Amino acid sequence: MKTHFLKLSALALSLIVTAGANAQEKPESPKLFAPSSAFNTWSFGIHAGILAPTVINGMNDFTNWKADVGYGATLKNQILPALGIQADFLAGKLKADNSRNWGNGLPPVSAFDSYETKVSYAASLSANLTLANIYWMNRVNVIRPYMTAGYGIMGYKPTTKTKAGVEAKFNAGENVKEAYLPVGLGIKFGLSNAINLDMGYTMNFVDGDNLDGYRAGPQNDKFSYSHIGLEFNLGSKSKTPLSSYNPVAALQDDYITRNAALQASLDADRAKHAAHMEEMNKERMRFLNDSDKDGVSDYFDKCPNTPVGIQVDGAGCEIKVTSTTTVVNPVRVVVTEEDRRIVADAIRNLEFDFAKSTLRSTSYPTLNRVADLLKSKDFSLKLAGHTDNVGSDAANLKLSKDRAESVKSYLVSQGASSSRIEAIGYGESQPISTNKTTKGRQDNRRVEFTLY
C-alpha cells in the first residue's frame, strides 16, 4: 500500500509540473447571455490511481483487500456552467485474500484463499455536477468540487486461488459482462485556461456477485477507484471553458462596465454644459453692461467712455447740437392701429433663453420693425418686464428688469433713440393670470410695450 501511495504522489507531482509548463493567461470572460459557441464545452482527461475491492460502507467476500493501480480516460461535454455529460473508461486489477479475520473476530470460511480480477474495461456515462458554479460567492471558479453519478457496463476476468495454491479461472477465463453504477466525488484545480488537475473518489456498485470469482451470498460486489489526472479543455485557447464560467460574476462585470460608461458620458456632458454656460455668461455681460452709463450697452456702443449726461444716439455716440438747431413746438403723437399691430407682433414673437435675459434671434425681425417705427415717428416706448412667481422675489425682479433692458439695448442698436425708451422691471407683482397653472404662469412671463 505504501508503494502505491508513493507512486501516486510521484504521478501527481509530475502532472502538476506538466500543467504548470503549459499554463497561460486567463482569457476575457464572455459577455452576459453569450451563446454556447463563445465557450469551450468539450474536454478530454486522463487519470491513474488506486483500485480497491472495497467502498466506504463495506467490502466484498474476502477479508483483506489490497490496492492496485488503475487507469482510465474521460470525455466530457459541458452543457451548462454547472452540468456536464461525461463518458468514462477504466481498467486495472483488483486483489484481495483471506489473511485476516472478519470485523466480528470470526475467521473466514471460504474454499478460496485469494483472488485477482483483471478489469478489462469499465465504460460508463455519467452526469457531472460542478458545485462551485452553484456556490455563487466564488467569483472565479479556480477550485471546482463536483459530484458524479451514472450507469455503465464492465467486463472482467476473476482468477481465484486456494490455500494449496491451485488457481481457477472463473467463467473459463472469459470476460464476465455486468452493469454497474458509479457514484463519485472529486475536485478540480484550474492550473490554466486549458488544463485542470482532477482528483476524485468513485464507488462502483456491480450488478452481481461475481467480481471476486466467489459467490458467497445474495449481496452484490463493489469496488472503488481513487484517482488523480489531468483534464484538457478542447477548442480555442482564447475561449473560456463553460465549466469555470460564473454567470453572476458576468452580470456584475456588465453592470460595472455600463455604469462606468454612463458616468464618463455624464461627466463629459457636465463639462460641456459648464463651458457653454461660461460662454453664455460672458456674452450676457457684454450685452447688458453699460460701462459709460449712456443707455447703450457695451455690445452695441460704438463710442465707449462718453461723458456722463451727454445725449447720445442709438450707437452710443454724442449728439452734437449746432447753433442753427431750431426748437419747434412738439407735435401731438397719434398711435395708429397699424402701429399697435407692429408692437403686438413684437410682443408675440419675443423669446428669451430659459431663465435668462438673452434675446433669441427669432425675436429680431419683429423688433426691427418696432425700431423702424420709433425712428420714423416721434414715439416714445415704455418696456415693462414681468415674471411668474417661481423663484425668489429679488431674483424675479432682477430678471424682469434685465429682460426689459435687453429689449431696449437691441432697439437702440438698431438706431432707436435711447432717451425715448424706458425699461422697467416689475417682477411678479403684476400678474395678469393665475400662477397655479402652466398656462397662467406662461401668460405672466412677458414684456409689455407701450407706445406714447
The string of pLDDT tens digits covering residues 81-125 is: 889 999 999 999 999 999 888 878 888 888 888 999 999 999 999
Q: Is the pLDDT of residue 326 over 50?
A: no
- pLDDT at residue 89 in the model: 98
Compute the distance between CA of residue 86 and CA of residue 78 in angstroms, rounded to an integer.
8
Residues 6 or more apart from 236 whose CB is under 8 A from it? Answer: 40
Q: Which three cell numbers stand for residue 122?
A: 469499465
Residues 6 or more apart from 128 whose CB is under 8 A from it? Answer: 76, 83, 84, 85, 86, 146, 147, 148
pLDDT in tens, 281-307: 777 776 677 777 777 777 777 788 888
Q: How far from each other are the two terminal CA atoms of the chain, in whole angstroms?
A: 120
- 19 or 39, higher pLDDT: 39
DSSP 199: E
Q: Which of these ranges, 118-127, 226-235, 279-288, 358-367, has the smallest mean pLDDT?
A: 279-288
Backbone angles phi and psi of 102, in degrees to 5? -70, 170
Using 50, 70 and 90 to split pLDDT, how confident is the model at 76? very high
Q: Which three cell numbers stand for residue 270?
A: 457636465
19, 193, 195, 239, 347 from 24: Cα distances, Å: 10, 6, 9, 12, 75
Supply the DSSP string of 311-351, one letter for each residue: -B-TTS-B-PPPTT----PPPPP---HHHHHHHHHHHHT--
What is the rounded average pLDDT of the residues 313-323? 70
Compute the distance between CA of residue 74 and CA of residue 76 in angstroms, rounded to an integer.
6
Query: Which of 218, 219, 229, 175 lies closest to 53 in space, CA to CA?
Result: 219
- pLDDT at residue 2 in the model: 44
pLDDT in tens, 139-195: 667 788 999 999 999 999 999 998 888 888 888 889 999 999 999 999 999 888 889
| Residue % of the chain over a pLDDT of 90 | 30
- pLDDT at residue 321 in the model: 59
Angle, to 10 degrees, between the axis of helix 393-413 and the axis of helix 364-376?
60
pLDDT in tens, 440-451: 888 888 888 888
What is the rounded average pLDDT of the residues 51-68? 89
Supply the DSSP string of 37-52, one letter for each residue: GGEE-EEEEEEEEEEE
Q: Is the pLDDT of residue 46 over 70?
A: yes
314, 366, 383 from 347: Cα distances, Å: 21, 8, 10
pLDDT in tens, 198-221: 999 999 999 998 999 888 767 789
**pLDDT mean across residues, the chain:** 83
- pLDDT at residue 251 in the model: 75
pLDDT in tens, 375-393: 888 788 999 999 988 888 8
Q: Is the pLDDT of residue 325 over 70?
A: no
Compute the distance between CA of residue 350 and CA of residue 287 in angstroms, rounded to an integer.
17
- pLDDT at residue 295 in the model: 76
